[in-house]
Amino acid sequence: MEIISCFDPRFRPYGQVLEGYDFSQLLDVMARTTPAPADGTVYVASDPALEALPVYTELRDRGFGGLDVQLGYCSGTNDSLTCLEYHRSSEIDIACGDMILLLALQPELGEGFALSTEKVKAFLVPHGTAVEMYATTLHYAPCSARKGASFRMGCVLPRGTNTEKPDGVSGDRESRLMTARNKWLIASEGTNEAAQGALVGIFGPKVQLFS
């Protein structure tokens, strides 16, 4: 699978690289305090230590126009695609160490919310780089940039995203995809998410970066 730089023009339909932020403190705190499992990934929606840093206020006010946001992290070791999700909002991701994002576009979803893995593209986000992923970008946990390596990613979203799903959500076909607050997800067959009731919508050859 081709690994494309996030600075490549081919990234533009999915998001943009952010400039003008000082992430040095954030990167230092993440490298020292956030776990990065060697087997699997961990996601924390809101980390008080990260939200106490000055850059949090800038991400809230400049990145999200003053909306209340959460700053957490996703970290671990991963080299394959299991699921794809989207939100009703952009997401800002900050790479603490190189990482790879596996992305597709919401308009590429077919009948029944099916998506071929042939639509998925891989983008390298270098250490210290922040990207905004648009609301129409399908994504999930990042991948490691090298076989066996771990990744760490700061993650900014409207507060409450990825927390408990609202009660009584129904009424349209898309509601079948909602697995948490502000989170619509499709899964690959045989994944934990599918076993927990997520819609199986990812089909085609398995996406795995390292053999």
> What confidence tens digit (pLDDT) does each residue in 142-163 have?
999 999 999 999 999 999 999 9
pLDDT tops 80 at residue 171: no
CA–CA gap between residue 208 and residue 210 (Å, rounded) = 6
What does the alpha-carbon distance between residue 128 and residue 119 come to, in Å, rounded to a whole number? Answer: 27
Which two tokens mark 59? 């991400």
Identity (one letter) of the amino acid at 197?
G
* Pairing mode of beta strands 151-158, 91-96: antiparallel
pLDDT at position 211, please?
A: 77
User: In the prediction, which pLDDT does 179 show?
Assistant: 94
The pLDDT tens digits of the residues spanning 25-80 come to 999 999 999 999 999 999 999 999 999 999 999 999 999 999 999 999 999 999 99
Exposure string of 50-70, with b = 16+ CB inside 10 Å and e = fewer, is bbebebbeebbeebbeeeebb
Q: What is the pLDDT of residues 83-135, one digit of tens each?
A: 999 999 999 999 999 999 999 999 999 989 999 999 999 999 999 999 999 99
* Structural domains present in the chain: 3-164 (2.60.120.10)
- pLDDT of amino acid 170: 74
pLDDT band at 168 (very low <50, low <70, confident <90, very high): confident
Model confidence, pTM: 0.96
Q: Considering only CA atoms, which of 127, 160, 152, 121 is closest in space to residue 15?
A: 121
SS3 of the chain: the string is CCEEECCCHHHCCCEEECCCCCCHHHHHHHHHHCCCCCCEEEEECCCHHHHCCHHHHHHHHHHCCCCCEEEEEEEEECCECCEEEECCCCEEEEEECCEEEEEEEHHHCCHHHCEEHHHCEEEEECCCCEEEECCCEEECCCEECCCCCCEEEEEEEECCCCCCCCCCCCCCHHHHHEEECCEEEEEECCCHHHHCCCEEEEECCCCECCC
Task: Considering only residues 101 and 168, tell me which one the structure prediction assigns the higher pLDDT.
Answer: 101
